[in-house]
Amino acid sequence: MAIFLVGFMGVGKTTVGKELGKLQQLPVIDMDHFIEEKEDRVIKDIFRVKGEDHFRAIETEALKELMIKEAVVTTGGGIIERKENREMLAAAETVFHLFCSFEVLWERLKEDSERPLVQSNSMDGLLELYNRRLPLYRSVSKAEIDTTYKTIDETINEFRRNLTFD
């Protein structure tokens, strides 16, 4: 059974996922990298050439495949955009929402040239996206971990203190 980490871009899903994988002795699958390998192109090129709708369709197929893996799966920030994805994640036993204040996220993201949605949005546009997605992440998760101003060790300690894994 997979452990899924969901949350807005920049909250630390990839970094936390690597450490959580060590803690749980599980492989870590970064969903974006998984998709890039299957498609043989980077996410920003998929967005540029085929568009976001095409990417979201690929993402749904990848999620279906990853649902049965014994791994920590770090999802892309937009995984919750599709109702089908939200339904699959809500039905999973171990989905954790990592979140962070928008102000801290903006500082992390504003210079990021690899994220298509950062490049195509202003700070206000990203804030609107953040506020729209926040309840969607919460609707699929079993627990939330706040990463605002926390080190990776502090974040992992939140998993140790508050969450148990069977």
**In terms of pTM, does the model score above 0.75?**
yes
What does the pLDDT read at residue 48? 87
What does the pLDDT read at residue 115? 59
What does the pLDDT read at residue 166? 46
Query: What gap in Å lies between CA 104 and CA 100, rounded to an integer?
Result: 7
What does the pLDDT read at residue 8? 94
Pair 39, 109: CB distance under 8 Å = no
Pair 72, 35: CB distance under 8 Å = no
Q: 3-class SS at 9?
A: coil
What does the pLDDT read at residue 81? 92
Fold classification of 3-156 (topology level)? Rossmann fold (3.40.50)
What does the pLDDT read at residue 154? 93
Please list the ranges in the chain whose pLDDT falls under 70: 110-121, 162-166
The full DSSP string for 104-165 is: HHHHHHTT-SS-HHHHT--HHHHHHHHHHHHHHHHHH-SEEEE-TT--HHHHHHHHHHH---
| Residue 121, burial from CB neighbour count under 10 angstroms (0-12, 13-18, 19+) | middle
